[in-house]
């Protein structure tokens, strides 16, 4: 089936929308046709600055715009549900930034609405389009460093993205939903097994009234790999790197953000080898991948089921952080 160029409507015109605008100009199958935000003055200024033809004061009118083929939801996390439901009712395929929802019940309702309407629902997990991480996973699966025993991964978010809603737990603020979900989605692919348990620490701590800016999680996979995961929005010089320890060697990467080329170093008995892989244009590839999924029914992007799994996972992690103990994850597929 031919892949057609999609005219996108963006709901939520914050910092991510600026990134997506740039990516759309490099995409093969995407143009930005419309934008909507709660602040009309800000929205009109954004659309004028970026050459977006149609501005809508509400998401309800954007999803019914006949010049909009697909809807990209990038509102604060607690406002995803009404936009997805409206898009489904309007018969528009929808790409929703992670997390899909803040509760399992809402996620299930969103999935059901899209399925009932025959509308494609996909989740914004752009790291799935990073070919370097595919290469790392392939090297690990080949057994180049033996049986994996431990994985350490960290990722920092720009301090410049700090905004009031990102610090408000009631709006889904906090680094768990912003950055850590990407890593939690990645770990099973690297480890070769699903997550089995989690414990951890957060700063500020649960109950402080502020979303955590740093979380450190200790996880175990069902194939008994130990995983240390750290995500932060208060560490401007974090390495954003990955280390994997195996029974026959070690794999280490350079920075996994803001570089044009990634480096993977493998150390084992035969010596040290190095591979270099160009960084991908993630949001461009995500939008083009969405168009291809729509054309052929593929699952290049995260699905509603992936979104539901991550909502369930985040709920357990919040429980583990609040109670200061390890929580099982084995019943989350």
pLDDT at 170: 79
CATH level 3 topology of 131-279+313-328: Dihydrodipicolinate Reductase; domain 2 (3.30.360)
Residue 165 has pLDDT above 80, yes or no: no
Q: What does pTM read for this prediction?
A: 0.95
Cβ(12)–Cβ(34) under 8 Å? no
pLDDT at 302: 97
Per residue in 40-67, pLDDT (tens digit) is 999 999 999 999 999 999 999 999 999 9
What single string gives the DSSP state of each residue in 139-208? HHHTTTT-SEEEEEEEEE--GGG--GGGG-GGGT-SHIIIIIHHHHHHHHHHHTS-EEEEEEEEESPTTS
Distances (CA, A) of 23 to 36, 124, 209: 18, 14, 35
pLDDT at 157: 86
Say whether 131-279+313-328 and 6-126 share the same fold.
no
What single string gives the DSSP state of each residue in 208-260? SSS--SEEEEEEEETT--EEEEEEESS-TT----EEEEESSEEEEE--SSS-S
Cβ(116)–Cβ(211) under 8 Å? no
Cβ(266)–Cβ(273) under 8 Å? yes
Going by C-alpha positions, the residue among 159, 172, 181 that lies closest to residue 210 is 172
Q: Which CATH number fits domain 6-126: 3.40.710.10, 3.30.930.10, 3.40.50.720, 2.30.38.10?
A: 3.40.50.720
Say how far apart CA 94 and CA 75 lie, in whole Å: 13
For 257-288, b/e burial (b = at least 16 CB within 10 A) is eeeeebebebeeeeeeeeeebeebbbbbbbbb
Instruction: Say what angle helices 181-191 and 131-141 make with each other, to 10 degrees.
Output: 30
CA angle 57, 62, 68 (to 5 degrees): 145
Per residue in 294-325, pLDDT (tens digit) is 999 999 999 999 999 999 999 999 999 999 99
pLDDT at 163: 77
The dihedrals phi and psi of 132, each to the nearest 5 degrees, come to -60, -40
Per residue in 130-164, pLDDT (tens digit) is 999 999 999 999 999 999 999 999 999 887 777 77
Q: Cβ contacts of residue 199 below 8 Å, gap of 6+?
A: 217, 218, 320, 324, 325, 326, 327
Domain boundaries, the chain: 6-126, 131-279+313-328
Residue 239 has pLDDT above 90, yes or no: no
Which helix (H) or strand (E) covers residue 115, if one does? helix 104-117
pLDDT at 333: 80
Residue 244 vs residue 168, higher pLDDT: 244
């Amino acid at each position: 089936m031919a892949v057609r160029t999609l005219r996108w409507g963006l709901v939520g015109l914050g910092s991510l929308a600026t990134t997506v605008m740039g990516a759309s100009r490099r995409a093969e199958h995407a143009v930005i046709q419309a934008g909507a935000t709660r602040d009309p003055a800000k929205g009109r200024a954004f659309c004028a600055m970026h050459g977006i033809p149609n501005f809508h004061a509400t998401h309800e009118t954007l999803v019914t715009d006949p010049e909009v083929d697909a809807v990209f939801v990038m509102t604060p996390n607690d406002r995803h549900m009404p936009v997805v439901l409206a898009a489904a009712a309007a018969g528009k395929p929808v790409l929703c930034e992670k997390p899909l929802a803040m509760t399992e019940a809402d996620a299930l309702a969103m999935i059901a609405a899209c399925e009932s309407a025959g509308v494609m629902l996909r989740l914004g997990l752009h790291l799935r389009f990073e070919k370097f991480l595919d290469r790392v996973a392939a090297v690990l699966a080949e057994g180049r460093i033996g049986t994996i025993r431990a994985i350490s991964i960290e990722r920092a978010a720009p301090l410049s993205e700090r905004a009031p809603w990102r610090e408000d737990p009631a709006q889904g603020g906090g680094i768990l939903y912003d950055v850590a979900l990407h890593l939690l989605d990645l770990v099973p692919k690297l480890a070769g097994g699903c997550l089995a348990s989690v414990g951890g620490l957060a700063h500020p701590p649960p109950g402080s009234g502020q979303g955590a800016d740093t979380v450190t999680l200790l996880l175990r996979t069902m194939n008994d790999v130990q995983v240390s995961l750290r995500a932060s929005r208060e560490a401007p010089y974090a390495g954003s790197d990955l280390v994997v320890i195996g029974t026959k060697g070690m794999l280490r990467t350079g920075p996994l953000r803001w570089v044009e080329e990634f480096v993977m170093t493998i150390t084992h008995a035969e010596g040290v080898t190095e591979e270099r892989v160009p960084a991908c244009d993630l949001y461009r590839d995500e939008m083009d991948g969405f168009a291809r999924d729509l054309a052929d029914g593929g699952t290049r992007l995260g699905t509603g089921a992936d979104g539901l799994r991550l909502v369930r996972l985040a709920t357990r992690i919040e429980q583990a952080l609040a109670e200061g103990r390890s929580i099982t994850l084995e019943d989350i597929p």
